[in-house]
Amino acid sequence: MDSASYWLVFFGAALAINLSPGPDLLFVLSRTVAEGRKVGFASLCGIWTGAWVHVTAAALGLSAILAASAIAFDIVKYVGTAYLVYLGIKALLTKSQAPGMLPEARRTTPWQAFRQGVTVDLFNPKAAIFFLAFLPQFVRPELGHVAMQIMLLGMLVIAVAVVVETTVMLLAARMTHALRGNARIALWLQRVFGSVLIGLGARLALLGHASQ
Q: What's the per-residue H, E or C state across 133-171?
A: HHHHHHCCHHHCCHHHHHHHHHHHHHHHHHHHHHHHHHH
Band the pLDDT of 53: cuts 50, 70, 90: very high
92 lies in some domain = yes
Q: Do the Cβ atoms of 55 and 154 come closer than 8 Å?
A: yes
178 lies in some domain = yes
Number of domains observed in the structure of the chain:
1
Q: Is 43 exposed, middle or buried (CB count within 10 Å of its CB: 0-12, 13-18, 19+)?
A: buried
State yes or no: pLDDT of 24 exceeds 60.
yes
Counting DSSP H helices and E strands in the chain, the numbers are 9, 0
Q: 3-state class of 21 per DSSP? A: coil
pLDDT of residue 27: 87
The dihedrals phi and psi of 209, each to the nearest 5 degrees, come to: -75, 150
Residue type, 110: P
Q: 3-state class of 112 per DSSP? A: helix
25 lies in some domain = yes
211 lies in some domain = no
Q: Do the Cβ atoms of 101 and 64 come closer than 8 Å?
A: no
CA atoms of 139 and 28, how far apart (whole Å)? 30
CA atoms of 130 and 192, how far apart (whole Å)? 28
pTM confidence score: 0.76
pLDDT of residue 95: 64
212 lies in some domain = no
210 lies in some domain = no
pLDDT of residue 105: 41
CA atoms of 83 and 86, how far apart (whole Å)? 5
95 lies in some domain = yes
Q: Give the closest residue to 74 by CA, choosing from 11, 123, 33.
A: 123
- Provide Rg for the chain, Cα atoms: 19
pLDDT of residue 97: 47
Q: What's the distance, CA 97 to chain centroid?
A: 31
39 lies in some domain = yes
pLDDT of residue 111: 94
pLDDT of residue 80: 74
Q: Which domain holds residue 176?
A: 3-205
Band the pLDDT of 209: cuts 50, 70, 90: low
